[in-house]
Amino acid sequence: MPTRNKTETACRTCGLDDGEVLFDEYGVPQYVICECCYNESGIGDDTVTQVRELRGYWVGNGAQWHDPKRKPADWDLLKQIGNIPPEWR
C-alpha cells in the first residue's frame, strides 16, 4: 500500500472537522461516525460518486445534524462544506 503521509480529519460528506482522524496516513478508514451527518468513515465514502450522493441526500434533507445538541450556535453550512478535501468535492 503506498504511503500518502496525510491523515484526513474532515468528513468527506459534510466537512465537519473536529480533529479526529477519519482516514490514517495510508488512507485506511478508522470507521468513525460523524456527529453531524452521521456518515461512518470507510462505509459508503470510497468513491467521489458515493460521497456526492451521500452529501446530496444530506443537504437535500435539510443538512440536519444527527445530534442537534452538538451543533455549534454559530454553525455555517457553507464554511463547513469548505473543509471537504478538494479530491472529495
- What tens digit of pLDDT does each residue of 59-75 get? 999 999 998 999 999 99
- Can you read off the three cell numbers belonging to residue 17? 472537522
Range of the domain at 16: 1-89
pLDDT value at 7 more than 80? yes
At 3, is the pLDDT very low, low, confident or very high (cuts 50, 70, 90)? very low
How confident is the model at residue 81, as a pLDDT?
Answer: 98
Give me the pLDDT at residue 27, please. Answer: 92
pLDDT at 1: 44
Tally of domains in the chain: 1
What is the Cα–Cα distance from 89 to 87, expressed in whole angstroms?
Answer: 6
